[in-house]
Amino acid sequence: MYSEAARPILSCAAMTCEMDSVSGPLQILQDINFTLAPRRALGIVGESGAGKSMLVKAIMGIAPKGLKTKGRIELDGQDLLALKPKQRAWLIGRKVGIVFQNPMTSLNPFVQIGRQIEEAGCIHMGLSKADARSRAIELLSFVGIPDPEDCYDYYPHQFSGGMKQRIMIAAALICQPDLLIADEATTALDVTVQKEVLDLLQTIQAERQMSMILVSHNLGVVAGRTDEILVLYGGNVVEYGPTAEVFRNPRHRYTEALLSAMPAMDQPAHTRLRTIPGQPPNLANRPAGCPFAPRCPSAQAVCHEIMPPMSAGIHPDHRFACHFPLAELPRPAPQEVAHVQ
């Protein structure tokens, strides 16, 4: 999709995830298509239940048992779904690093953090004990942990939430991955610490020339830090394109509704917020047509019957699945875009 790039580091084509439940099969993800080029950052946004985490877990092969994934997921040219589970885990462990929302459930409380950082390095890279230790210490200092040599022997409870998240980032980097995934990695942190951790991720991404996926429910988190953005709603990609373009001129009505539901820092007090009436779709009993149609103020009969295909705007990379998209805005003159800070 992005012509400048050579082989994409990750691509999903017609990816679908289904799972059985007591109330029938749940269609968790439907027809997901995207490509992530080397050294690019992709933001995945959506509300709870949109399928953000499931998408990440399905790619990583760590989805709950019973999740049936179809389609094609390619990591650095290899079709993950065609590989045997062991080979797949081996490849992903070597090439992808992941940081989850809650570091306390990812870190073992009984094991010194240095050991936990090295673990994947010893398995995948065959590092010797001494090499692993020196690399772990190097990474600890790289992610901004003071006195890394002492901290190597500390246990997780001796660190604050932000520090633990830095340790998780260090552990994700030990195999020098080509792709780093941060799944709501800063959601549990204070704003000031969130900013630091996001800054760190961005710095690392640039320095190590990695690709990155930032998964968040907070549009503000991905706005200034990603190149492309994927908006999920009810398990469907509703809008996908260059971040700046999607924010400047959202074409899908859900994206636009989501953006205007957020209280903005430049609104005066007691500004009425726009709401999105109704509920996200029931995944066990999906309505035909567009998943957003029941909540969409502009929905017509066709929206309830036919799922809109992804179509492109004037910007060929900006795509959206809507029968009645919002109008295309003219590109502003460059000086209007320039932001005074």
203 counts as binding other proteins under rule CB under 8 A? yes
Which helix (H) or strand (E) element contains residue 96?
Answer: strand 96-99
Tokens of 150: 């002492």
When the beta carbons of 39 and 115 are compared against other proteins, the nearer one is: 39
When the beta carbons of 191 and 327 are compared against other proteins, the nearer one is: 191
Binding segment toward other proteins, per CB under 8 A, in 70-78, 88-96, 97-105, 213-221: 213-221
256 counts as binding other proteins under rule CB under 8 A? no
Smallest separation, CB 169 to other proteins (Å): 13
| Greatest alpha-carbon span in the chain | 67
First to last CA, the chain: 33
Query: What is the C-alpha to C-alpha distance for residues 32 and 58, in angstroms, rounded to an integer?
Result: 12
- For residues 265 and 191, the answer to whether their CB atoms sit within 8 Å is no
Residue from 71, 144, 287, 313 touching other proteins (CB under 8 A): that is: 144
Which helix (H) or strand (E) element contains residue 311?
Answer: strand 311-312
By CB under 8 A, how many residues form the interface with other proteins? 56
Tell me, residue by residue from 281 to 320, as one string, x for binding to other proteins by CB under 8 A and - for no binding. ----------------------------------------
- For residues 99 and 107, the answer to whether their CB atoms sit within 8 Å is no
* CB atoms near residue 20 (< 10 Å): 12
327 counts as binding other proteins under rule CB under 8 A? no
- For residues 238 and 321, the answer to whether their CB atoms sit within 8 Å is yes
Smallest separation, CB 204 to other proteins (Å): 9
Which positions lie near other proteins, rule CB under 8 A? 47-48, 144, 146, 160, 162, 190-196, 198-200, 202-203, 217-221, 223-225, 243-244, 246-248, 257-259, 261-277, 279, 337, 339-341
